Amino acid sequence: MNLAPDNQAPLCAAPDPAPRQPHLRLPSLSCDTHAHICGPAARYDYSAQRIYTPPDALYPDYRAMLDTQGIARAVLVQPSVYGSDNTVLLQALAQDPTRLRGVAVIEADTPLTELQRMHALGVRGVRCNIVDVKEGKGRLPLAHLQALARTIAPLGWHLEFLMHVDEYPQLDELLEDFPVDVVFGHLGYMATGKGVEAPGFQALLRLLRGGRAWVKLTGPYRISGSPMPYADVSAFAHALTEAAPQRIVWGSDWPHVMVKGAMPNDGDLCDLLSDWVSDPVLRHQVLVDNPAWLYGF
């Protein structure tokens, strides 16, 4: 990563411009549940508090990647670089309303009329960055999260957490009575070196089995200590799918802003599913049935 001149936030590399078709044949109506649209930077300002600066990652480029992969549906997630300004996200959703759904970032006092407008454009959830907003190790800002949940509950939305689950060994107890479903990105977002027996990851498995949580198989390069094919991630993917196959979804994490090593090709990332979810029936559930239910396709 190079340094951006305005606030010294690292400048991320662009995704592979020539995504290849995966060797794995994806089922019809497969869904990529995690991608970000960024830019153009010349038109839309990034937050001064951002921790990275993405390349322009525009919807036509993302759509071309989906078409190459054979992916019919997608979920765009508000990137942290825009804070709670969802302009770019909502404009992208409006371009392809049948194909797309969204996860926005909002304030707890966002008017219902604005939420209803977002819902009409395809928003089905709200993202919360717990990684950067902490009340102490192992504690969650529950009052804030519950206020958000009460705001979105009438719309049937969920909360998506960006958090390191290993920091919360009582995660299942903290969220057992939460008023809306919760979604965890990046397989729980903990370093694989800590192992699947880590108390926080085991708490995530218990929460999954309880039927109110979901997990995204996304961003293996964010948690792996190995290069592609990120072999140390497999045990985590298997543990999650075995715990609650009806609560697992998959996503590309395009444009891969947190890659620290070699930029992976999206075809190679998709082919990881051959190991992570080897059974074709289960793979159909993860790629088609589960996201259709969670995002209302």
Mean pLDDT per 10-residue section of the chain, whose length is 297 residues = 55 94 97 97 92 94 97 97 96 96 93 96 96 66 91 96 95 94 97 97 97 96 96 98 98 95 96 98 98 97
Q: Where are the beta strands (DSSP E) in the chain?
A: 2-3, 10-11, 31-35, 73-77, 100-104, 123-129, 158-162, 182-184, 213-217, 248-250
Measure the CA–CA gap between 46 and 41, rounded to whole angstroms. Answer: 7
pLDDT of residue 108: 80
pLDDT of residue 69: 96
pLDDT of residue 7: 55
Which stretches within 226-287 are classed as H helix?
234-243, 266-271, 273-276, 280-284
Measure the CA–CA gap between 218 and 251, rounded to whole angstroms. Answer: 5
- Angle CA(291)–CA(187)–CA(97) in degrees, nearest 5? 30
Which CATH number fits the domain that encloses residue 74?
3.20.20.140
Count of domains forming the chain: 1
Nearest alpha-carbon partner for 81 in 115, 45, 57, 107: 45
Measure the CA–CA gap between 56 and 255, rounded to whole angstroms. Answer: 9
- Out of 253, 266, 279, 289, pick the active-site residue: 253
Annotation says 181 is catalytic: no
Q: For helices 199-209 and 234-243, what crossing angle results, to 10°? A: 30
Nearest alpha-carbon partner for 183 in 206, 201, 157: 157
pTM: 0.95
pLDDT of residue 2: 40
pLDDT of residue 138: 62
pLDDT of residue 271: 98
* Domain range enclosing 92: 2-295
Beta bridge partners of residue 107, listed in sequence order = none
pLDDT of residue 27: 97
Measure the CA–CA gap between 35 and 255, rounded to whole angstroms. Answer: 7
pLDDT of residue 289: 98
